[in-house]
A and B are shown apart, each in its own frame.
Chain A
Amino acid sequence: MALSTQSTTGHGQAAAPRRTDRGVIGAAAIVVFGTAGYFVFPDNLALLTHIISTMLLVLAIDLVTGYCGVATLGHAALFGAGAYGAGIAAAHFGITEPLTMTLVGVICGSIAGLISGIVVLRAHGLAQLVLSIAVIHLFQEAANKASAWTGGSDGLSGIMPDAVFGRFEFDLFGQTAYVYGVALLLVTFVLLRILVRSPFGMLARGVKEDPVRLAAMGASVQSVMIRMYIISGAVAGLGGALSAISTQVVGLDSLSFTLSAETLVMLVLGGTGSLYGAMVGTVVFMFFEDTVSAANPFHWLTIVGALLIAVVLFAPKGLYGTAAAFFERRSRAGKGRDGA
């Protein structure tokens, strides 16, 4: 008994640094893939930047859906708020310094997160889903009606960001925008990694797994979810700001139900409740979409649909989730054999 207790404790001490290592591996992977993307697809940097901004939105959905268990089909509202915030700051107020534009996007996203959180979190389950759909339609209609500010259905143009740090101009090839995007993603990943491992991250998982138990521990479930919605809004707003800066236009599609639904699909594809799942899902979905739509412009949606059905049926935890579970089982089986 004493022996086995000791070995368990030893395992516990080893476990914490191992998880940290995985965070370092994730950050390193972003740098490696980011660098590889720059050199392997030099003509497609605009697409890669688009993937990164979408990835930030998918990460934002993961925070509320994967970690807190909130059902939402309206999360593009937070992304669009960030995009319009950064865009309007540049086009109407002459705030063209990219870091400031990004910050404006983050703030607008957080505010949109607070507002939609207050609405969406009033209900549970199906009613919650319906409220989230209502929110995205209201946001889109508001942006459509306020055409003096947003350009309405023509989109908001005239966004001319300055050079980053006054040195790196946003070029035609999208090199600066891409590097800027990778840097934002890296910083966001590190911060979110700290967040989901923190006590607050555990509270969020508690909300998802059993809110009654969490309340019986003395935690306010509603307050955890609202805080997470605001953080999620900041991340989505960051994605929106990146999109506005890199494409220099903002359209109503950034506030659309379609984008909300498509990004939720990306999250499910990769696997909910994990930052890696969100990132893997986005990359696979968007690359697949891009490749298939080029190869077969008439039937590509059918193929995307078939891929999704296959993943949901055969890998219900998503691509990353299923792979992670497989390796965890294998490593446990290996340990079992060592022990025997």
Chain B
Amino acid sequence: MNTLFEVSNLKKNFGALAVTNNVSIGMAAGDRLALIGPNGAGKTTFVNLVTGHIKPDSGRVTLSGEDVTGMRPAARVQRGLIRSFQVTRLFPDMTPEEHVALAILQRDGKAGRMSGHYSAKPAVMKEVRETLSILGLIELSHLKVREIAYGQQRLLEIALAMALKPKVLLLDEPAAGVPQLETTRIERALDQLPKDLAILMIDHDMDLVFRFATRVVVLAAGTVIFDGSPQAVTKDQRVREAYLGSYANAGSAA
């Protein structure tokens, strides 16, 4: 197995509290990994450490063999390490079309251009429409983001991540705040992503997690307590104790 993305011995303390304690996770191209754990287990902190939004105390993050631990978030993005945010981070006064167009231009290194308008570029517009269609946002493409519903803003987060053509995609609770019906859109969008892309998803919706993931990592109190198949996770005693409880029971009952 060829490791595309590797996190080794990542540590972060907030004061005396070890929020990330010696976490190591490796991912190969094509991996579909779910990172789960109770609230406060350090899942979002893990994503923030990996993407460079927080500096780790020690440990290494490598992407395609390159050490990116000391790089700024933007530099990691340029190398294909893309994330979505747990709480939507978008530009409230821009339209979905502008968001996706900007992501595409930035990905292609053309966002610094000081003349021209994206709508005059057929290739960009085609990709913008395709991306927005996949997420069912095409009819909202000219509304400002602050005028559209939160669930649809969540979908736009996914659209942006897709437009950036990631190698490794970190999705921090993509379905949080998304109505049940729209969740299928997210799943369909994820299905359409290239198969060689590695995806790590954090989510509390266990149905979604079990449909999506081929591998599950459980984080509790900043430590990895389980790393294995979705079938094995419900049977794992430590996981049951730490967190799953009701889900595992529900699973065995069904």
A208 to chain B, nearest CB (A): 8
Which one, B90, B92, B111, contacts A199 given CB within 8 A? B111
CB–CB A12/B97 < 8 A: yes
B73 at the binding interface (Cβ < 8 Å) = yes
B105 at the binding interface (Cβ < 8 Å) = yes
B117 at the binding interface (Cβ < 8 Å) = yes
**What CA separation (Å) do A8 and B103 show in the bound complex?**
21
**Nearest A residue to B109, CB-CB:** A218
A25 to chain B, nearest CB (A): 17
CB–CB A16/B120 < 8 A: yes
Within 8 A of B (CB), among A1-49: 4-5, 8-9, 11-12, 15-16, 19
Which one, B102, B115, B129, contacts A202 given CB within 8 A? B102
Count, chain B residues at interface, CB 8 A: 42
> What are the 5 A-B residue pairs with the smallest beta carbon separation, nearest first?
A218-B77, A209-B91, A16-B119, A213-B89, A218-B78
CB–CB B113/A200 < 8 A: yes
CB–CB B114/A198 < 8 A: yes
CB–CB A217/B103 < 8 A: yes
**What CA separation (Å) do A205 and B92 show in the bound complex?**
10
B185 to chain A, nearest CB (A): 14
Stretch at the interface among B2-10, B135-143, B226-234: B135-143
Within 8 A of B (CB), among A219-262: 219-221, 227
CB-CB under 8 A from B78, the residues of chain A are 218
Count, chain A residues at interface, CB 8 A: 32
Q: Known pairs A212-B89, A218-B164; list 9 more (Cβ under 8 Å).
A: A16-B119, A19-B117, A198-B114, A199-B102, A199-B113, A202-B102, A213-B90, A215-B77, A217-B164
**What CA separation (Å) do A4 and B119 show in the bound complex?**
20
B15 at the binding interface (Cβ < 8 Å) = no
| B72-93 interface code vs A (CB 8 A; 1 in, 0 out) | 1110011000110100011111
CB–CB A215/B74 < 8 A: yes
Which one, A197, A209, A221, contacts B117 given CB within 8 A? A197
B204 to chain A, nearest CB (A): 22
B160 at the binding interface (Cβ < 8 Å) = yes
**What CA separation (Å) do A201 and B138 show in the bound complex?**
23
CB–CB B111/A209 < 8 A: no
CB-CB under 8 A from B89, the residues of chain A are 210, 212-213, 216
CB–CB B91/A5 < 8 A: no
CB–CB B98/A217 < 8 A: no
CB–CB A219/B74 < 8 A: yes
CB-CB under 8 A from B94, the residues of chain A are 202, 205-206, 209
Given contacts A12-B119, A215-B77, is CB(A200)–CB(B91) below 8 Å?
Answer: no
Q: List 17 A-B contacts (CB under 8 A).
A: A5-B138, A8-B142, A16-B120, A195-B115, A199-B102, A199-B105, A199-B110, A199-B113, A202-B102, A202-B105, A202-B118, A206-B102, A209-B92, A213-B91, A216-B85, A218-B107, A220-B72
B84 to chain A, nearest CB (A): 8
A71 at the binding interface (Cβ < 8 Å) = no
CB-CB under 8 A from A218, the residues of chain B are 74, 77-78, 106-107, 164
CB-CB under 8 A from B113, the residues of chain A are 198-200
CB–CB B106/A217 < 8 A: yes
CB–CB B91/A217 < 8 A: no
CB–CB A4/B139 < 8 A: yes
CB-CB under 8 A from A195, the residues of chain B are 114-115
**What CA separation (Å) do A212 and B93 show in the bound complex?**
15
**What CA separation (Å) do A19 and B120 show in the bound complex?**
12
CB–CB B74/A8 < 8 A: no
CB-CB under 8 A from B90, the residues of chain A are 210, 213
A223 to chain B, nearest CB (A): 8
Within 8 A of B (CB), among A175-219: 194-195, 197-203, 205-206, 209-210, 212-213, 215-219
**What CA separation (Å) do A5 and B93 show in the bound complex?**
22
**What CA separation (Å) do A221 and B164 show in the bound complex?**
17
CB-CB under 8 A from A194, the residues of chain B are 114-115
CB–CB A199/B116 < 8 A: yes
**What CA separation (Å) do A206 and B99 show in the bound complex?**
9
CB–CB B77/A216 < 8 A: yes
**What CA separation (Å) do A194 and B113 show in the bound complex?**
11
CB-CB under 8 A from B118, the residues of chain A are 199, 202
A272 to chain B, nearest CB (A): 12
B65 at the binding interface (Cβ < 8 Å) = no
B252 to chain A, nearest CB (A): 39
CB–CB B117/A16 < 8 A: yes
Which of A4, A8, A205 has its CB near the most chain B CB atoms (within 10 A)?
A8
B2 to chain A, nearest CB (A): 24
CB–CB A203/B142 < 8 A: no
| A150-175 interface code vs B (CB 8 A; 1 in, 0 out) | 00000000000000000000000000
A303 to chain B, nearest CB (A): 33
CB-CB under 8 A from A5, the residues of chain B are 138-139
Which one, B93, B97, B160, contacts A205 given CB within 8 A? B93
CB-CB under 8 A from B82, the residues of chain A are 216
Given contacts A203-B102, A213-B91, is CB(A219)–CB(B111) below 8 Å?
Answer: yes
CB–CB A217/B141 < 8 A: no
A209 to chain B, nearest CB (A): 4
CB–CB A220/B111 < 8 A: no
**What CA separation (Å) do A146 and B80 show in the bound complex?**
52
CB-CB under 8 A from B111, the residues of chain A are 199-200, 202-203, 219
CB–CB A199/B142 < 8 A: no
| B161-185 interface code vs A (CB 8 A; 1 in, 0 out) | 0001000000000000000000000
